[in-house]
Structure 1
């Protein structure tokens, strides 16, 4: 029987899905609420209770059960404060209109403390509007003013208990899924890297390198997410057991990423030099096999299966060795610098192969000091307040978003009182979900929200026609709620359609399903219009205004990374915390630049610069990071004092040049090229020619300086456009 079609395998794949655990928790929470309401014949209380459960699920973070308990208590405190405050203030429109923007601004600024608090603050805003929607229903205040907040909190607490229990029973699940996503992203990068080695005519390597630079953002995000999950599990304790093993696997992934990022020599030049050889085809084949092994590693983490070695990759690696040896044995072998580039590439691919085969000895910290992770959370209340205070400036992206969202919700509240629509608080809900920190994100969310709402209304109308009432609708209520969480990370339009169907079916249980269809769509359109106008006119976050700061930070972090790398050619290889922070900062800056340029290209024409120099700058910057990664991948102590002196001198020249370039870009001033460094580096390379490692380092630094000159020229072009 085919393993893939075996029921046990299919069940493993379903259980190993990233969304499975959350969907099961939502299914249990919503199903439990519906079942209790059916038994007690009180379905009217189900709607606020289910909305509370959904809000708590949106506030959930991937914490260990100890931290999740603390997070749950903070979440419930925020929920209770918001729900009861709204219930008290809602009958007084002027007082409520004053409090709404202030509370919104404060909650968004609370997110400056950490990502965990940002998630809680966002969910608190959502629950606040759920409270308004519940209080707006006919007779809500007449029955009991505390009823809606109490039911919302009960639903949230019910989901919180389920989530806490799940975390106790599956403490390693979040780590496994984070690592699986990381290895999947590494596999995609390996495939993108392999495409660069095809020695075929007409290959647009500039476009391939641009795609690789943008793909690097996905790897960096996955690395950061995995680090946060590991920090949460380890805390201040020494890692043990499964957590220690997965920490080592995270370091393996870091080392693989550095090796994948490496660039030993310009790819066009390699393709031209080895056009009549099969060595680059063999390199491409090996990289694709290693990408497949990365995906198998991800699958074993998700499905909890043993890792099997890839015999094909071992054979392909031997073939590459044989091809390089054949080139070296030719009567007229290729130039020495080309063979050095192939040797360095071969060492990297061999190391990746060993790492994927389970040999974690390569570049993996073993000492407690080396294996420490930098905790991004606040160390104290003073630290938390200082983080918020630093963001209280108009130059802060968070500050501008907090101000825009506060104004947007205030305008929405004014509009609903002006036109008095049915279920008018849905305007605020749509505005909250659509209004994002950037124009590009708001634009995409706007179209997704409107399209999803329209689709949900159409599906809801069809369902109400086919199933006017009965138990089947109750089942669909639960399924649509689960569908929202299943789709929200992959397709926001489908998630919106699911939650729209959920709302229509819930209101239909109270006899008003058809009545809320068009108000839901109309309120979505009004909320979308408000979000769009506020994003465009109030402190708009046009990416071009911050461009010079972002590109300067990219070069500055590269210089710090180079400083850390060069120090280890004197002291010996050590993946300590300082080195890993410098490497992570460089890749984070590169990913931020890629994300910023991608977002800028979707902004209105008059608010963006010419795309060609920007994309060329991103590509050149990523190539520069590739040469730095090459130096990082080949770190080891240089034993010759003369060779070390040459490397130190060349490193100082390069680091100073990068620092000067960063300063010029930060001040938005024309950046001057370094000049003709070839003669200087030829002399330095000749001095260190007896040491192969020193020759490799000086050669890479020469390539970095050549890219420095290209970046300086592009900086001049960007300065003229600014």
Structure 2
């Protein structure tokens, strides 16, 4: 229990909540003592408005983002106050203002949070409409609150400058360990492969997010302010974790075939599975050490596990005899070499947290890092390009504008106490996707009712304002802490905080609770209905785009692998970029599928085909990674023409699948007839057989390596061809249904 509490209080979510709580509470307490509660409360609002834009990034982007947000929220508040008296122009002005603020989201994650802050500021502007000099003073106080939050955020940054990235790296290590554990599960006899692969795909979505967070901080800091030893160490760890993930994905063995082949010798596979589990356990233990900032001492002797696998392979060969066991030994040797590479990468990560680094560890990690980040610039053309119904952001902005205007009109013309609660509920709940809006609507209503009942119950017994103030601060802290973890819990604590505040400043607390619940229900219902009926962004409409991007990313990755096999040399930046994009797009495809599952059954069109294509793309990535990893880690022979012809066939299949998704059948490319492709595989095998025959008298070890290369390359090419054909066939079925 103590460990869980410590883990929670050390989390990024709690730290962020603590920052905004401190920035909001200090002005209120200070000015309350001076008899100026309203000034303190307005400054606290400024901090609250500014806080969402404080997302992971380097220091420069953090400061700029917070400053822009502080000025924007104060500006929109001032504009609302200026225009409010002129009712004939106010409504169209408000609609345009809301729409333009919502459209800021086209510029990425930080812009989305700035947009959210500004929309919250618009809704809460109606809580206190001012005139004359008072409205200018109010806006200045809001800016002051934003600047005060910036100071608090910078204090936290300088007190623990590396803590955020340490926690993100620790989480990345933990998720990578989970991935390795799932790969180990595949070796269980009669394993549910479908369920395991589905878990891997869900995990890929989480890994994509954490990888992006780490890149934003590590790489942007490295390129803008130069490199520190801590930054370079974490960068090396991150790169090693990405390579560990690629290695894990690249173990694309035919598990059914291996289980059948080694059915009479289960010790070999069990030994390998034990090694796979210990790889995952080592990373999991390391993750805990990083979070605790404790010295890392490995509990697992991975080298002993490797030796055990070598002995198991030797026993297998002795039991069957050298010639009968040759094919099995080649398979097992390939598995052993993958495991050796994993141990090597894990040792680099372990060394980062236990010993001083050798300068060689940093060699080459600085190369072309900026190319792995999405450039941050905000051209007007991006906004203009999104002013059409083909843009999800445009449809969401229009939907949000209409819903807020309807909520505002209902709140003004019907006997509601606080129209801004309706607006606030709509802004907080409403998301571009139907599924998330529906979920948040339910959680918001549930949390509001539960929080109101609990807070009202407490206020029935507790009358001391000091105790109520302490409870409100705790509820505020917990409410912000759970926003990203559990929205239902967050809504409960935020409601309690609001009720406690009203309990201090107003006597009619029962009316406050009733109106708060009513306003929330109205806002949630409006948001839900709007997402269902106003230009809904059903996920099945986005699926073809995500499929196209995923197939294209896989295709580019395979092209880079082919180039590397033909030219040899060192790994190029374009190779690493294509690998990164392939991982990202697979995660994006699965995230889209997850959103689709949350939508009404009538909108889950071609769900089985979409799921099958997600699995096929994941398998294609796995097979490509297997080929690429082998080529990287072994001295390979020259690529033959037959190899290139087969790879070109796979690429054409993927091109045709993309053309179908674009509904562009006219440009389908002709593939080799089946008999010609079979002839190419025969040719490839003959070339390899000739190379092997020539290699026998020269060097036994070289002969074994060539045998291994022949087997793995041909198997992966056959698998890639089959997968690309299945992707094309399933895509055709998807587009025809």
The question of a shared fold, defined as TM-score above 0.5 by the shorter chain, is answered with yes
Partner of 1:520: 516
Query: Could you say if the C-alpha distance between residues 417 and 635 of structure 1 is closer, same or farther in structure 2, counting changes exceeding 3 Å?
Result: same
Which residue of the partner structure matches residue 563 of structure 2? 567
Match of 2:364 in 1: 366
- Once the two structures are superposed, residues 74-116 of structure 1 have per-residue CA deviations (whole angstroms, 9 ceiling, x without a partner) of 1122122111111212333443321223222222222222322
**Structure-2 residue corresponding to 1:680:** 680
C-alpha separation between the residues in 1 aligned to 2:22 and 2:283? 34
Residues 112 and 340 (structure 1), Cα distance of their counterparts in 2 relative to 1, 3 Å cut: farther
Per the alignment, residue 320 of structure 2 pairs with 331
1:617 and 2:606 aligned: no
Q: Name the structure 2 match of 1:256.
A: 244
Q: Which residue of structure 1 aligns with residue 210 of structure 2? A: 222
Aligned length: 706
Deviates more, 1:705-714 or 1:446-455: 705-714
Structure 1 residue 502, shift from structure 2 partner: 1.4
C-alpha separation in 2, matches of 1:295 and 1:42: 52
Q: Is the 8 A contact 1:657 1:674 kept in 2?
A: no
Q: Please show how residues 70-149 of structure 1 align to structure 2 within 5 Å.
A: 70-135=64-129, 144-146=134-136, 148-149=138-139
Mark the CA change 1:534 to 1:11 in structure 2 (over 3 Å): closer, same or farther: closer
Q: Partner of 2:90: helix, strand, or coil?
A: helix
Query: In terms of mean alpha carbon deviation, does 152-161 or 464-473 score higher?
Result: 152-161
Which of 370, 385, 391 pairs up with 2:380? Answer: 385
Q: Report the Cα offset of residue 618 of structure 1.
A: 1.7
Query: Secondary structure of 1:636's partner?
Result: helix
1:465 positional shift = 0.8
Query: How far apart in 1 are the matches of 2:115 and 2:554?
Result: 34
Once residues 103 and 344 of structure 2 are traced to their aligned partners in structure 1, the CA distance between those partners, rounded to angstroms, is 46
- In 2: Cα distance, 1:336 partner to 1:643 partner: 24
How far the C-alpha of 1:238 sits from its partner, in A, is 4.2
Paired residues of 2:649 and 2:721 also in contact (CA < 8 A) = no
Kindly state the Cα deviation for residue 470 of structure 1 after the two structures are TM-superposed.
Answer: 1.5
Pick one of 574, 587, 591 that aligns with 1:595.
Answer: 591
Q: 1:322 to 1:662 in 2, by over 3 A?
A: farther
Q: Deviations over 1:658-709 (max 9, x none)?
A: 2222222332769999764455324313312433435422321210111122
Which SS does the other structure have where 1:489 is aligned? Answer: coil
- Decide whether aligned partners of structure 1 residues 114 and 612 sit closer, same or farther in structure 2, where only a CA change above 3 A counts: closer
Aligned to 1:412: 407
In the other structure, the counterpart of 1:19 is 13
Contact 2:557 2:575 in 1 (8 A): yes
Q: How does 1:165-314 map to 2 (within 5 A)?
A: 165-199=155-189, 201=190, 203-276=191-264, 277-314=266-303
Q: Identify if the C-alpha distance between structure 1 residues 655 and 673 changes in structure 2 by more than 3 Å, giving closer, same or farther.
A: closer
Residues 1:357 and 2:347 are matched in the alignment: yes
Aligned to 2:725: 709
Residue 366 of structure 1 aligns to a residue in which SS? coil
The CA distance in 1 between the partners of 2:505 and 2:260, in whole Å, is 73
Partner of 1:37: 31
Aligned residue number for residue 64 of structure 1: 58
- The answer to whether the aligner puts 1:478 opposite 2:473 as a matched pair is yes
Aligned CA distance change for structure 1 residues 573 and 109 (closer, same or farther; 3 Å): farther
1:318 maps onto 2:307 in alignment: yes
In the TM superposition, residue 537 of structure 1 has moved relative to its aligned partner by 1.4
Shift of 1:242: 0.7
Find the aligned partners of 2:77 and 2:165 in 1 and give their Cα distance.
Answer: 34
Report the Cα offset of residue 326 of structure 1: 2.5
Deviation, 1:399, is 1.7
Report the CA distance shift for 1:649/1:34 in structure 2 as closer, same or farther (over 3 A). Answer: same
Structure that is richer in helix per residue: 2
Aligned equivalents of 1:323, 1:534: Cα separation in 2: 63
Whole-angstrom CA distance in 1 between matches of 2:584 and 2:415: 47
1:376 corresponds to which residue?
374
Which residue does 2:699 correspond to in 1? none
Q: How does 1:479-558 map to 2 (within 5 A)?
A: 479-511=474-506, 512-558=508-554
Contact 1:64/1:171, CA 8 A, preserved across alignment:
no
- Give the aligned partner of residue 48 of structure 2: 54
| Cα 1:482/1:641, change in 2 over 3 Å | closer
Give the distance between the partners of 1:237 and 1:22, measured in 2 at CA: 24
2:423 corresponding residue in structure 1: 428
- SS of the residue corresponding to residue 23 of structure 1 reads helix
Q: Does the 8 Å CA contact 2:25/2:44 hold for their aligned counterparts? A: no
Q: Does 1:345 find its partner at 2:325? A: no
Q: 1:457 to 1:16 in 2, by over 3 A?
A: closer
Are residues 1:626 and 2:655 paired? no
**Distance apart, 1:492 and its partner CA:** 0.4
Shift of 1:147: 5.0
Two-structure CA RMSD over aligned residues (Å): 2.8
Residues 1:542 and 1:341: Cα distance change in structure 2 (over 3 Å): farther
Deviations 1:11-50 (A, max 9, x none): 9756642234223323422331242134223434444333
Q: Which moved more, 1:491-500 or 1:185-194?
A: 185-194
* Residues 121-173 of structure 1: CA deviation (Å, up to 9, x unaligned): 211211222222233xxxx6699344543443333322221012222333222
Q: 1:331 to 1:178 in 2, by over 3 A?
A: same
Shift of the 99–430 alpha-carbon distance from structure 1 to 2, 3 Å rule, reads same
Counterpart Cα distance in 1 of 2:13 and 2:390: 37
Q: Deviations over 1:443-462 (max 9, x none)?
A: 11111111111111111111
Name the structure, 1 or 2, with higher relative contact order (CA <8 Å, separation 6+): 1
8 Å Cα contact 1:217/1:592 also seen in 2: yes
2: CA distance between counterparts of 1:225 and 1:497? 28
1:493 to 1:334, Cα distance in 2 relative to 1, 3 A: farther
The 2-side partners of 1:142 and 1:474 are apart by: 33
CA distance in structure 2 between the partners assigned to 1:330 and 1:47 by the alignment: 80
C-alpha deviations, 1:359-403, integer Å up to 9, x for none? 689998616435444331334x5xx32332332332122222112
Mean CA deviation greater in 366-375 or 541-550: 366-375
* 3-state SS, counterpart of residue 134 of structure 1: coil
Corresponding residue of 1:162: 152
CA–CA separation in structure 2 for the residues paired with 1:694 and 1:102: 65
- Alpha-carbon distance change, 132 to 148 in structure 1, aligned in 2, over 3 angstroms: farther
Matches within 5 A, 1:626-645: 626-636=622-632, 643-645=639-641
Contact 2:660 2:732 in 1 (8 A): no
Offset, 1:627 = 0.5
Q: Name the CA shift for 1:579/1:36 in 2 (closer, same or farther; >3 Å).
A: same
Q: Which runs of 5+ in 1 are unaligned?
A: none
Contiguous gaps of at least 5 residues in structure 2: 352-357, 693-705
Distance 1:711 1:283 in 2: 31
Q: Which moved more, 1:470-479 or 1:60-69?
A: 60-69
The CA deviation string for residues 284-327 of structure 1, in whole angstroms up to 9 with x for no partner, is 22222222222223223323333323434332232222222322
Contact 2:177 2:284 in 1 (8 A): yes
